[in-house]
Structure 1
Amino acid sequence: MVKPGKFDELKCILSCFQYSLHLIILTETWLKSDDEANHYQIPGYTHYYNYRSTSRGGGVSIYVHNKLKHRLIEEQCTADCHYVWINLENYNLDIGAIYRKPDTTNLKEFLDIYSQQLYKRGRAVVFGDFNLNLLNMEFVTTYREILQGAGYKIMNNVSEKFCTRECVTSKTIIDHVSSNLVENKFHFALIDTPMSDHKQIYFEIINHKRIFNKKVQYEAIDYDKLYKTIQEWINKEIINEINNRNILWSEHKSNPKDEIKHEKFLKERNKVSEHIQQCKSKYYLKAFTDCINKPKKMWSVLSCLSCNRIKKEWVPNKIKTQNGLISDEKEICDYFNKFFSEIGSNLANLIPSKYHHSLTINKVTLATGSPKHTLSEITPTTTDEVGKIIDKLNTNTSSGLDGVSPKSLKCIKNIILDELTVSINKCLKQGVFPNSLKIAKVTPIYKSGCKLDV
């Protein structure tokens, strides 16, 4: 995944699909940090991942389409084996992505962890590079027994003809799909391309509806100008070159000893990789050149480029408390609320007692003490004052929890001004403030240190 051009090629291939894929699962991503993972994002998808920070290799990623309601339920790296589990709320379905390091020394530990995870799930489908060859019964007997005991069935067709990795000397099935959805029908296909030395797996639960790309109907628009504006660096020429390279790959695979076919494939492979990078560079160079004196458009281009750095939901899926780890969303919210409501007084109590009678501290305390006036004592407002406040609102700011934007408020000002003024004065007279306007959305932002600590 981190090899230059490889991820861009994946984007090119995804653009050819007539419908959106729910999930894209990658193994052996070779990611080494959160910052690096943030560089590999697919527009319209959320990226969940687990990486190995102590050594090279490994890693798994799950890209989930944002039209689905989803959440991370578990991710860990133990003994260089990776586990990521997410939940698709729309389907009441858990999805797992697993990578097991290719050695036999950690097999028992891996099977213990994996079996515990399987028993915790409800309806689930699990994908992974297990590095356990289903064609070799010597090492997979216990693995099969664990799956069977947890109610799971291997979806692969266990035959050399349907191997997931093939080289000159051997054929193996080390990439597996398993599920406990016994009542569902599936479509399972293997795709052989030069993107990886493993075959890609296409898996579809047949009775689940696909998410088709939404078609937007435009009116009174110059379509030539529109298409010119939205043209991306991915073009038909690149797609044709990828298809041609795949044909040469198939010819080479059918006759691996033919040096001429091998040479043709390598030449086309390198050509595709270079062309993708050239098209992408030229596209963004032209985009920056066209808006060199237009800061707003420049930021728009930068925003387009930063689709690799999507806005993250910083709310953690688990945090550490005095009583241990908690993962329930409501408990996490309550803990954050308790922490921030008490942090002021807790820090104040840490101030040495000799400073408690400090003149400076007393002045601050008096200045920020309880208000001496109530709402009912405030002078009523006027339509002129309310109108001026609305006129000064910044239309570039977002709407509040009520969903009313400053721009909308300005548009309907003359219609609501009298009634709005009456409502404000009524609240002042009765000494009340609307509860709905007391709500604030607070988002904790991770800065540094352990992500489990508040």
Structure 2
Amino acid sequence: MGICLPEATVDTTHTQSNFFLHKPHWDSLPATHATGGGESITVTTTPVTGSIHCPTKSSFTFYYQNVRGLRTNIEDLFLATTSADYDIIVLTETWLNDEINSVQLFGDTYAVYRNDRDAVATRRKRGGGVLIAVSTKLRSSRSSSRVDNSIEHLWVNVYGSDNTIAVGVVYIAPDFATDATLIEKHIESATNISNSLRPCDYHLLFGDYNQPNLVWTSSPSDFLYADPSESRFSVSGSALVDGMALLNMKQINDIRNIRDRTWDLIFINAEIASECIVSEAVEPLLQTDAFHPALVCNLNCSHTINYNDITNDMKFDFRKADFVLLDSAIASLNWSRLLESDIDKAVETYTSQLAQLFRQYVPLSRPRRKPPWSNGQLRELKRLRAAALRRYTNCRSLFEKHHFSGVFSAEPANEQSINLALGSVPRDVIDITTFLFTVEEVRTAIRKIKSSVVAGPDGIPSIVLKLCAESIATPLTIIFNASLSQAKFPEMWKQSFMFPIHKKGDKRDVGTYRGITSLCTGSKLFEILVGDVLFAAIRSYISPAQHGFFKGRSIDTNLAEFSSLCIKAMEDGNQIDTIYTDLKAAFDRVDHQLLLTKIER
């Protein structure tokens, strides 16, 4: 991407600005008298008209600094910017007011956008304020998206021929850093900005959120995250991390201050986070503060964002499939060649053949961008509902894959433990490799699976098996028997979709979630067949007191049997002592080596 301004006429000099009432500065407004909300804003400009041609740029340089006040550094900043070559300058804690004109700070080389502190609302005459200065070689304007004006933040759009960079800046004063509602309002404004952008546009947000208790650590996948083991999450800190996660924005600044903390944060689209390099400024524009190093951010815009356009996201609509013709087409195929293949190759052939038939007999569905009954009012209500839900839950939502990697972190069973556990395990109950399924047994198993039009990782929903059972049972029988004879489970069927489902307790604790997996239909059917064989073989070894996971028995049968035992004991004048136990995350604590050893025996 190259942000480029074609030959155009722009206003580059601003000589006077007089604000009667405080409003966020927009010094790049044309000379006019504007009214709004009963308050008047007068901006007087002296335009210098010129024809500027901007060559195509493949990268942009941002400068960011918490300047801790510009009132005493006006001349220093002016001199520094005359020799600097930054495309965009972002400053926080500017301490500016209506008496200071932006042309005093940057001359005519930058279009300046300001949001000075409202002394009336904050009851403070000094401090705060944010500023974004964009080189006049670039075309820019203040974002028209709705943002909360009670917060010291602003966004500016920098336009290119094909793309837009939304550049934002925010300053949260220390007194308000623990205000989760304020953070949520800021996130809501950032959401409005993101929603106004196209998938090919960029969103870059600089800010001093005054969250020193968030410790940003590099992950194995080479991105920064707020380390739960080292950070102390306040409600506002969690709201910030949650909000940026929901926006799919990554924090990319790893430059630490004198206290070994990162106070100034830079968030950017996750898709292009690797294209943005942050470093400490070698020659800061102004004297730096030990807690806020000056930063230089280089954004490589030659990278193309890969995204899925939902208008072209075509999916099969199995609700409208012609299953009669599909069943006939499956039956007409010669599946005997599956016998000559390796099990993985056989499953691959089976899946690809069905996919080709789906293209012929299953219509495509194009998801709508918006429901036909949707309107602006309903979308606004949905936005308010989502904001209320965030305020109510106040919970973390960062779930990376590595969170679930520690589920099976218990020490593995040693050889002595395994030998002790094998003492009660019978030997050679069944040799599964010599067992073969018939086509009729596969059809019977198909009747047991639930009908669904939602496909798993293999792209084959269970409704295809249910309504085409007569024909599809043949290739499946060949695959199942080949898998048993080769003692190998198909690699493709090991894939699954995993969803974390909250059980109970603190939603910020990953231990309160259970992983639910969506399997391939073929693997689920195979599980039913093998499960029936194993159960029939080991049924005589199972205790009659076992009611869980036993066909024909349940909690109800357990309770009925226990109640009968208690009533009989009471009638006989005997005493009943009962002990209830519950193993926390029982399935997660099963030792895999011990389980495999028992199965092998």
TM-score normalized by structure 1?
0.40
Higher percent of residues as helix: 1
Structure with higher Rg: it is 2
